[in-house]
Amino acid sequence: MSELTENAIRPDDMMKESDRLHAIDLQWLLARQERFVEVACPACERREPTPLWNKGGFRYDRCGACRTGYLNPRPLPETLDEYYRLAENYNFWEKHVFPASEGPRREQIARPRVQRVVELCSEKGVGGGILVEVGAGYGTFCEEIARTGRFSRVIAIEPTPSMAQACRNRGLEVLETPIEQVTMEQELADVIVSFEVIEHLFSPRDFLRSCAKLLKPGGLLALTCPSVDGFDVVTLGAVSQVVDPEHLNYFHPSSLSLLYQRCGFEVVELRTPGRLDAEIVRKRTLAGLHDLSGHPFLEQVLLRDWERVGGAFQDFLAANLLSSHMWIAGRKR
Ligand SMILES: [Zn+2]
């Protein structure tokens, strides 16, 4: 397997146009700010906010009790539904970025996820029935997991029209609706997966409870999302591209575990298998978007000695829950 690079999955030459469209989309959201609502911490539900970041007119708080970050105030679910239906950037990704980056995404993101889900099912004695992916996006994971033949039925839930169409074009079974509005038989699924979705949702708690209802007892829920304690997010702060109004929730390993438990799951796996943190900080620094001059050790690791120690440094982050890419799996109690 070749090495995963940021350029392979987010081609540099396309990101300028993506950023331009995203900025326009965000102006639409910002114009509706008077309808935003204050919320409690998405992990522990306490109301002890302390200021975390201000960026582009949006405010992010950190929970004083559990340290989860969250966009506060935030758009209501109906505003978010409209936003994702209208967002030009998602059309651009469906038409340009995903087609251009599908090879590396399939090989280096979708297939390792499929492999891990299959292994997890074997370890926990689950599988053979129905797998549901919530937020199936371009459909690559569903296509790959269907090919393994491990599940009798694979269902893609995808509310964004252009992405849902991309899934249908692959011959996948698609439900074009937000998970909170899915009307499916309860205790239907053996496995639910959801990659980079929970951070976008108004209520992660409602989402996890919806997943719990949809799962059979003993069924598995595996998801990925950013960790606010990850290296690139901590180092870059508000400059990090993770800090984005589309991301409403900024969990860390402990707070996401807490939420899983509160929603009826036993956590069976918690890792940060990220491979890009160090490269992201290095690239932002080289591009003049971040200053490491007050951090001579990081200058040494990420710039001067990069070829020699960059890979090992990233491995250290991933192995110690210090990457910003988090993976969690839980079993419905
Ligand atoms: Zn909290």
For 42-63, the pLDDT digits (tens) are 999 999 999 999 999 999 999 9
- Cα–Cα dist 189/173, whole Å: 14
Question: From the CA of 141, how far away is ligand 1's center (Å)?
Answer: 32
Name the residue with tokens 């929730």: 249
Task: Please give the Cα distance from 322 to 273 (Å, whole number).
Answer: 9
Ligand 1 centroid from CA 70, angstroms: 9
Q: Quick one: 78 exposed, middle or buried, by C-beta within 10 A (0-12, 13-18, 19+)? A: exposed
Q: State how far the Cα of 170 lies from the Cα of 295, in Å rounded to an integer.
A: 48
Calculate how far, in angstroms, residue 81's C-alpha sits from the geometric centre of ligand 1: 25
143 within 8 A of 169, measured Cβ to Cβ: no
CA distance 196 to 137: 10
User: Largest Cα–Cα distance in the chain?
Assistant: 57
Indicate whether 1 pLDDT > 70: no
Tell me: the pLDDT tens digits for 311-321? 999 999 999 99
Question: How many Å apart are CA 80 and CA 96, to the nearest integer?
Answer: 23
**In angstroms, what is the span from residue 259 Cα to ligand 1's centroid?**
10
pLDDT at 2 over 70: no
98 Cα–ligand 1 center, Å: 35
How big is the CA angle at 325 (ends 323 and 330), to the nearest 5 degrees? 115
CA of 65 relative to ligand 1 center, distance in Å: 5
29 Cα: distance to centroid of ligand 1 (angstroms): 25
| CA 74 / ligand 1 centre spacing (Å) | 16
Give the model's pLDDT for residue 137.
92
Number of other CB atoms surrounding residue 19 within 10 Å: 11
On whether the CB atoms of residues 278 and 250 are closer than 8 A, the answer is no
Once rounded to an integer, what is the mean pLDDT over residues 70-94? 93
Give the 3-state secondary structure of residue 105.
helix
| pLDDT averaged over every residue in the chain | 95
Nearest in space to 135 (alpha carbons), one of 196, 222, 92, 225: 196
- pTM value is 0.94
Going from the Cα of 45 to the center of ligand 1, the distance in angstroms, rounded, reads: 6
CA 180 to ligand 1 center in whole angstroms: 22
On the question of pLDDT at 3 being above 90, the answer is: no
**Which helix or strand (DSSP H or E) is residue 208 part of?**
helix 204-214
The first and second tokens of residue 205, run together, are 């708690």
How far apart are the CA of 232 and the centre of ligand 1, in A?
A: 22
Residue 178 pLDDT greater than 90, yes or no:
no
Confidence of residue 186 (pLDDT cuts 50, 70, 90): confident
What does R_g of the chain's alpha carbons equal in angstroms?
A: 19
Give Cα 37 to chain centroid, integer Å.
Answer: 23
Please check whether residue 121 is in contact with residue 127, taking contact to mean a CB–CB distance below 8 angstroms: yes
Residues of the chain with pLDDT > 90, as a percent, come to: 88
User: Which domains, from first to last, does the chain contain?
Assistant: 6-332 (3.40.50.150)
Residue pLDDT, tens place only, 233-273: 999 999 999 999 999 999 999 999 999 999 999 999 999 99
